[in-house]
Amino acid sequence: MTPRRIPAAGPQVVVVGAGSWGTTFGKILADGGAGVTMWARRPELAQEIAEAKRNSRYLPGINLPRSINATHDLAKALDGADQIYLSVPSQTLRENLKTLRPLIEDSSAPIISLMKGVERGTGQRMSQVIEHELECDPARIAVASGPNLALEIAREQPTAAVISSVSQETAETVARAARNAYFRTFVNTDVIGTEFGGVLKNLIAVAIGIVDGVGYGENTKASIITRGLVEMTDFAVAYGAQPETLQGLAGLGDLIATCQSPLSRNNTAGRLLGQGYGFQDVVAQMQQTAEGLASVAPILQLAHEADVDMPIVQQVKMVLDGTMNPRDIAPHLTTDDDTPQGERTNHGKADGGGALRRAFQRALDQLRDGGRGAERDRS
């Protein structure tokens, strides 16, 4: 029997997917005053969340708020939802949406993607998959991204994220629900940049994990992060993103967190590759999905179509394919020839400052102004 839902002051929301990030975001929403129902594919997991207020497999040691409810009945979970959050593996999203669609035909609730990936075969971002599969107005769709390692947030360590939608109103509505004492949300309308930032940093994190597994040090990793930000920005801008989005929480912020933390699934997957494990062995060892592994091929296809050079990501693919020794990934990250080149900054332009300097300066300005200096990411 499903426990009675405890009334909440905020909106009634449903989180579809009860992995580490879905459950953590449910906790964020509940701690912000929302009434939260988690949908879990496995009945036993739904029961544990609903009755014990724990998710021992994905968030060991974390006590969930008493206001969180859970069920494995999707129709029941969606009943009366004011907001719908999606947190399933990116490559299964379309399949899940086919099940979801008839259940929300009469709903106008905002649909929020918590996923960071692109679909194999189509190369579509998650918001595009949602729009096409549900045939809904893009103004109803939002995405959440930022430096958000699930276990740290579940432990209530302070951080921030970006809620992005082509509709400022939708972004602000979701941001008001998804904030609390330890989790602050900013908003923007650059969905392309916000989504691609969350996807691309995973690929750079795999590269960082590879060189970490090999045993290379901080110089190598700093070079990859710096040049990786350039690749991320060049790619995203080629597809219509604003460059400053990649210098904010959804780009640089997420890149730093994902690259430096052992909690990162993509970093862990890369480290196993660097230690000599093959692709299938890495997949077998990972308890959760490392979205970066699935996104390498479609991102490189999109880069080829836009004529964007991504040497770091290309070499990650070579390691995945077994055509490059992991130890060989570092010496030629920047260029394939010996001609001295300028240090390109964001979207292919060179100047005396550089993308990374401007990004850090922007972060310092935000701290100095108490967050008021950001024009694009607004709380």
Q: What is the 3-state secondary structure (H, E, C) of 305-342?
A: HCCCCCHHHHHHHHHHHCCCCHHHCCCCCCCCCCCCCC
For 134, phi then psi, to 5°, come to -95, -10
| Burial class of residue 151 (count of CB atoms within 10 Å of its CB; 0-12, 13-18, 19+) | middle
Using CA atoms in the order 238, 242, 248, 250, what is the torsion angle rounded to 10 degrees?
Answer: -60
141 or 363, higher pLDDT? 141
Does the pLDDT at position 365 exceed 70? no
- Band (378; pLDDT cuts 50, 70, 90): very low
Q: Closest Cα partner for 221 from 193, 258, 275?
A: 258
Does the pLDDT at position 122 exceed 60? yes
Among the residue ranges 65-79, 83-97, 342-356, the one predicted with the least confidence is 342-356
pLDDT, position 263: 76
pLDDT, position 310: 93
Among the residue ranges 126-135, 161-170, 177-186, 333-342, the one predicted with the least confidence is 333-342
DSSP code, position 48: I
Alpha-carbon distance of 213 to 331, in angstroms, equals 16
Bridge partners of 163, per DSSP, are 144, 187
Per-position b or e across 176-200, b if 16+ CB within 10 A of its CB: bbbbbebbbbbbbbbbbbbbbbbbb
Average pLDDT over residues 112-135: 94
pLDDT, position 367: 47
Does the pLDDT at position 317 exceed 70? yes
Does the pLDDT at position 19 exceed 80? yes
pLDDT, position 126: 97
Highest mean pLDDT among 82-91, 268-277, 326-335: 82-91
In the three-class reduction of DSSP (H, G, I as helix; E, B as strand; rest coil), residue 120 is classed as coil
Q: Read off the pTM.
A: 0.85
Q: Which of 98, 201, 221, 349 is catalytic?
A: 201
DSSP code, position 250: I
- Band (28; pLDDT cuts 50, 70, 90): very high
In the three-class reduction of DSSP (H, G, I as helix; E, B as strand; rest coil), residue 206 is classed as helix
In the three-class reduction of DSSP (H, G, I as helix; E, B as strand; rest coil), residue 33 is classed as coil
pLDDT, position 286: 67
Amino acid (1-letter code) at residue 348: G
Average pLDDT over residues 16-26: 97
Does the pLDDT at position 344 exceed 70? no
Among the residue ranges 24-33, 99-108, 350-359, the one predicted with the least confidence is 350-359
Q: Which two tokens stand for residue 24?
A: 């953590």
With contact defined as beta carbons under 8 Å apart, do 130 and 219 qualify? no
| Burial class of residue 338 (count of CB atoms within 10 Å of its CB; 0-12, 13-18, 19+) | exposed
Neighbours of 152 (CB within 10 A): 17
Average pLDDT over residues 312-329: 91
- Band (370; pLDDT cuts 50, 70, 90): very low
Strands of 183-188's sheet in order across: 68-71, 35-39, 12-16, 83-86, 111-113, 141-145, 159-164, 183-188
Report percent pLDDT > 90 for the chain.
Answer: 70
Specify whether 201 is catalytic. Answer: yes
